[in-house]
C-alpha cells in the first residue's frame, strides 16, 4: 500500500513537470506530501519495532527531504538553462527509483530500479552535451555501472534460483536459517562487488571525482543521494550477510584500502568541490567498515548524516570564500585558542573521555552495556578530528565543536541502544581482522594530522605527490579496464553491424 501511494505521488510529480511553470512550482508540495506519508509510516514502524520498515523508511525519508531541497535549489539555480526541465525530470525519476528500490519486495523490481538509476545518472552527467570532457566522464561511469549491473544481476538471479523465490522477504528468511553454502557465498560476493562499483570507492572512484563539470545540484544529488545507495541496500538486505563473514571481510579489505588512500588524497586538494568529492569516497569507505563490522545502527546514522551534510556542503560551496573575511573578523573580536592547544593525541583522549562520560551518564536512564570496546574506540577516533586546532580558533568556535561532538555521541549511543536489540546475532569477524582494522584507523588518523600540519609534504615529498595524483589508481583502472571494455564493446558493435549488413545484402 505504501509503495503504491509513494509511487503515485512521484508519478504525479513527473506528470506536473511537463506542465506550465505554475504546476512545476507545485512539485515540491507533492514531494513534501510523500515525505510526510513516509514519516507517518515510519512512526508506526517505530511503535511496533518493525526493523525492516524502520531501516527502509528512515532512509527514504532522508532521500525525499533531499529531493525537496535540491529540486527547489535547482529550479532557481538553473534558471535560464535550456535543459533545466530535463534535469528536473531526471531528478524526479531518480527519486522515484530510490523509493522503488527501498520499498519493493521483488528482486526483479529491485534490479530494474537499480539499472534505471544508473542510466539516469549517466544522462545527468551529460547535462552539458557540448563539453567533450563530460562525455569521457559519462563513458567511465557507464562502464562502471554496466559492470555493477552484470554482477548485481548475476548475484540476484543465482540467489533467486537457488532459493526458489524472487521475494526479498523469503530469501532473507532462508539466508538467515539455511546453512553455509559456497554457491551462496559466490553470489553474495558478486552483489557486494557491485555495491563497491556503485559507491565509487577506490579504485572505482574516477567518474565521481571528475563530475565537477556538471551543475552544482547534480553534484549535490550524486554525492548526497546516489553514492549512498550501496550502503542503503546493504542495510536493507542485512539478513543476507549475517552468516557469511567472508563477504564482510572482502568488503572490509576494500573499504580500508579506500579509506586510507582517499582520505590522504582529500587533504592534498585545494578546490572545495574536489575536496568534498574525495571526502565522499572516504565517507563511503567508513560506512562500509561499519557495515562489515555489523554496526548497522552506526551505518544508518552515518548515511543519513552524510546525505544531509553533503547536500548542504555542495549547495553552499559557492559562499565559502565569501564567509572567510567574516570568520577572520569574528576571530579578532573574540578570544582565540592556540593551534597547539589540542594535539592529535590530546584530541583523541578528550574525545574518548567525553564519549565514556556521556555513555555512563546515559546509562542512568538506558541500558548502554551492548556497546563494545571496539565501537567506543572507533567512534572516539572517528570524531576526534573535530577538536583538531591547526589554526587559531575562537573560544566560541571550540565550544561549538565540543557541543556538536557531544550531541553526535548522544545520538549514536541512543540509536545503538535502541536498534541493537532488533538486529539478529551476527557472526563476528576474526580477532586478527579487528586488530588490522584498528591499526589501519590509527595510521590513517596520524597521516591526517601530518598532512594537515604540513609535516608530511616537507619530509616525504614523493608520497605527497602520489597522494595529490590519487596514487594513480584511477589511471590504472581507466587504462587497463575501462578502455579494454570500451574497445571490446566497439568490436562487438562492429561485428553486429557487419553481420546485419551482410544479412540484409544477401536477402533477395
pLDDT tens digits for the chain (508 residues)?
A: 677 888 888 888 888 878 777 777 888 888 888 888 888 988 888 888 888 888 888 888 888 888 888 888 888 887 877 788 888 888 888 888 888 888 888 899 999 999 998 888 888 888 777 777 777 778 888 888 888 999 999 999 999 998 888 888 898 888 888 777 888 899 999 999 999 988 888 888 777 777 766 777 877 777 777 888 888 889 888 888 888 888 888 998 888 888 888 877 877 776 777 777 788 888 888 889 888 888 888 888 888 888 888 888 777 766 555 555 555 554 455 445 455 555 666 777 777 787 778 877 877 777 666 566 777 777 777 777 777 665 566 667 777 778 888 888 888 788 777 777 777 667 666 667 777 777 877 777 777 777 766 666 666 677 767 776 767 777 777 777 777 777 777 777 777 777 767 776 665 5
Q: Is 337 helix (H, G, I), strand (E, B) or coil?
A: strand
Element (H, E) at 477: helix 473-477
User: 298 with 412: CB under 8 angstroms?
Assistant: yes
**pLDDT for the residue 334:** 46
First-to-last alpha carbon distance for the chain, in angstroms, is 56
Where do we find the cell 579509506? 259
| Global pTM value | 0.84
C-alpha Rg value of the chain to the nearest Å: 24
* Contact in structure between 211 and 277 (CB atoms under 8 Å): yes
Q: Let me know: does 145 contact 118? Beta carbons within 8 Å.
A: yes
Q: DSSP letters of 231-258?
A: HHHHHHTGGGGTT-HHHHHHHHHHHHHH
Would you state the pLDDT for residue 174? 86
DSSP track, 15-81 = HHTTS-HHHHTTHHHHHHHHHHHHHHHHHHHHHTT-HHHHHHHHHHHHHHHHHHHHHHHHHHHTTT-
Q: What are phi and psi of 336, to 5 degrees?
A: -115, 160
Amino acid at each position: 500500500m505504501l509503495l503504491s501511494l509513494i509511487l503515485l505521488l512521484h508519478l504525479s510529480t513527473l506528470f506536473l513537470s511537463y506542465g506550465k511553470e505554475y504546476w512545476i512550482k507545485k512539485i515540491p508540495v507533492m514531494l513534501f506530501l510523500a515525505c510526510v506519508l513516509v514519516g507517518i509510516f515510519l512512526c508506526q514502524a517505530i511503535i511496533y519495532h518493525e526493523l525492516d520498515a524502520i531501516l527502509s523508511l528512515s532512509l527514504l525519508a532522508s532521500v525525499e527531504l533531499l529531493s525537496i531541497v535540491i529540486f527547489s535549489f535547482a529550479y532557481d539555480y538553473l534558471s535560464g538553462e535550456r535543459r533545466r526541465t530535463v534535469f528536473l525530470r531526471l531528478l524526479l525519476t531518480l527519486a522515484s527509483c530510490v523509493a522503488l528500490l527501498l520499498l519493493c519486495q521483488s528482486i526483479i523490481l529491485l534490479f530494474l530500479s537499480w539499472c534505471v538509476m544508473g542510466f539516469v545518472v549517466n544522462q545527468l552527467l551529460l547535462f552539458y552535451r557540448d563539453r567533450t570532457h563530460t562525455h569521457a566522464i559519462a563513458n567511465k561511469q557507464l562502464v562502471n555501472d554496466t559492470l555493477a549491473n552484470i554482477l548485481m544481476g548475476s548475484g540476484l538471479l543465482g540467489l533467486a534460483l537457488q532459493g526458489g523465490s524472487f521475494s526479498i522477504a523469503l530469501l532473507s528468511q532462508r539466508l538467515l536459517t539455511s546453512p553455509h553454502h559456497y554457491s551462496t557465498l559466490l553470489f553474495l560476493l558478486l552483489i557486494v562487488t557491485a555495491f563497491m562499483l556503485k559507491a565509487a570507492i577506490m579504485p572505482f572512484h574516477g567518474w565521481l571525482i571528475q563530475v565537477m563539470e556538471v551543475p552544482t545540484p547534480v553534484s549535490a544529488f550524486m554525492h548526497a543521494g546516489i553514492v549512498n545507495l550501496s550502503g542503503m541496500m546493504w542495510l536493507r538486505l542485512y539478513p543476507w550477510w549475517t552468516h557469511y563473514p567472508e563477504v564482510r571481510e572482502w568488503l572490509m579489505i576494500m573499504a580500508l584500502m579506500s579509506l586510507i588512500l582517499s582520505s590522504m588524497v582529500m587533504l592534498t586538494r585545494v578546490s572545495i568541490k574536489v575536496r568534498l568529492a574525495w571526502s565522499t569516497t572516504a565517507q563511503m569507505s567508513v560506512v562500509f567498515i561499519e557495515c562489515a563490522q555489523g554496526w548497522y545502527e552506526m551505518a544508518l546514522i552515518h548515511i543519513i548524516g552524510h546525505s544531509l551534510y553533503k547536500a548542504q556542503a555542495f549547495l553552499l560551496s559557492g559562499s565559502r570564500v565569501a564567509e572567510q573575511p567574516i570568520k577572520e573578523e569574528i576571530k579578532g573580536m573574540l578570544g582565540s585558542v592556540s593551534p597547539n592547544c589540542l594535539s592529535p593525541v590530546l584530541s583523541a583522549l578528550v574525545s574518548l573521555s567525553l564519549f565514556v562520560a556521556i555513555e555512563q551518564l546515559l546509562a542512568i536512564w538506558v541500558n548502554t552495556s551492548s556497546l563494545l570496546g571496539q565501537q567506543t574506540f572507533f567512534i572516539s577516533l572517528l570524531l576526534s578530528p573535530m577538536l583538531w586546532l591547526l589554526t587559531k580558533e575562537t573560544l566560541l568556535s571550540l565550544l561549538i565543536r565540543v557541543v556538536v561532538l557531544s550531541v553526535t555521541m548522544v545520538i549514536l549511543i541512543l540509536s545503538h541502544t535502541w536498534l541493537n536489540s532488533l538486529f539478529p546475532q551476527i557472526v563476528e569477524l576474526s580477532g586478527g581482522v579487528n586488530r588490522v582494522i584498528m591499526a589501519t584507523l590509527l595510521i590513517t588518523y596520524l597521516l591526517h594530522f601530518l598532512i594537515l600540519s604540513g609535516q608530511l609534504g616537507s619530509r616525504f615529498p614523493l608520497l605527497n605527490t602520489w597522494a595529490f595524483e590519487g596514487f594513480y589508481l584511477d589511471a590504472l583502472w581507466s587504462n587497463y579496464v575501462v578502455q579494454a571494455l570500451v574497445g571490446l564493446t566497439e568490436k562487438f558493435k562492429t561485428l553486429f553491424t557487419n553481420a546485419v549488413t551482410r544479412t540484409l545484402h544477401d536477402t533477395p
